[in-house]
Copies of this chain bind each other. A is one copy, B any other.
Amino acid sequence: MSDAIAHKLLDGRGIAAQMRETIATDVEKLKDGGWAPKLVSICVGDEDAAHIYVRNQRRAAEKVGMAFEPRTYPADIGAEELLGIVHGLNVDPRITGVIIQRPMPDHIQVRDIQRAVHPLKDLEGMHPSNIGDIVYNDLRMGPCTAVAAVEMLKQTPLQLEGLEVTVIGHSAIVGKPIAFLLMAEGATVNVCHHMTRNVAVHSRQADAVFVAVGKAGLVTGDMIKPGAAVIDIGINQIDTPDGPKVVGDADFDSCAEVAGWITPVPGGVGPVTVATLLRNAVTAARLQQEHYEMAFSEEKPQASR
């Protein structure tokens, strides 16, 4: 990689390491007060698919001094039983939060399991009421990947207020939350997807392009305005003559040529996503503490959260 291009890279590993420093200090404080964070990861059936995610989460948790308990249940577990387990974790004071690993077997509706996790224990920020809170500009516990992607943009000197941004991909947990997180910061946001007539018309106007579709090579350099930021959320495994390789949704070489900043894959949004999960765990522990103290102090508990 040329120096000119290396200079444009947004280094996710370095950003994540910085975030973990702050988180580690927060964890110490929480421990001192009796609120040591503990995460439970739930896999069902085939562990291999989620293996890398679980391993990365566990290692990152250990680095900041958080307990991490990976659980795997058999592929034929019933949805009712799984819901019962989640409810048990919701009322267990030792558990700060729950991570539902995907994929799940077909007989389990992932969304039903995710929404069974109490919003205050929903570290992934996927519960509808947590998603709804973001729409209301309450950004405390957002979906990790979306928050991490926006964090990458914040590492550039670009001012988010008034920034023209195109988001490619409109999923409920990545594309749309990126759009409202950016709106909350004052950006003008365009959301494109597979039904958009001409994505390039929009991406070429943008000061920053986010892509979260899951299609290698979808965004090429000719779709990017010179000097724009490219934030690549895709993670795709492709075959090359040198064997399998992990790449993003942007064609790195042509985009890096034109862009002002670009996230590599791997080593871009991914590590920051894991750090964001840990930061959500700190936030969750604090909100649970606040909730507990309200309930057990003379003050009346608040109506919300």
Contacts and interface: CB of A to CB of B under 8 A. Distances in A.
A44 B138 CA distance: 26
Contact of A115 (B111, B191, B304): B304
A179 B35 CA distance: 40
B195 A161 contact: yes
B128 A133 contact: yes
A80 B197 contact: no
Contacts of A129: 127-129, 132
Contact of A172 (B115, B128, B137): B137
Interface in A35-68: none
Contact of A176 (B112, B164, B183): B183
Contacts of A254: none
A267 to B, nearest CB: 29
A186 interface: yes
Interface centre among A112, A116, A135, A197 (most CB of B within 10 A): A135
A118 B94 CA distance: 29
A97 interface: no
Contacts of A164: 197
A90 to B, nearest CB: 11
Interface in A154-200: 161-162, 164, 170, 172, 176-177, 179-180, 183, 186-193, 195-197
Interface in A266-305: 300, 302-304
A161 B83 CA distance: 37
B303 A135 contact: no
Nearest to A180: B176
A183 B170 contact: yes
A130 interface: yes
Given A116-B303, A136-B172, 11 more contacts: A83-B303, A111-B136, A128-B135, A128-B136, A129-B132, A131-B136, A132-B133, A162-B196, A188-B190, A188-B193, A189-B190
Interface of A: 79-80, 83, 111-113, 115-116, 127-133, 135-138, 161-162, 164, 170, 172, 176-177, 179-180, 183, 186-193, 195-197, 202, 300, 302-304
- 6 closest A-B pairs by beta carbon, nearest first, are A128-B132, A132-B132, A131-B132, A129-B129, A186-B195, A190-B190
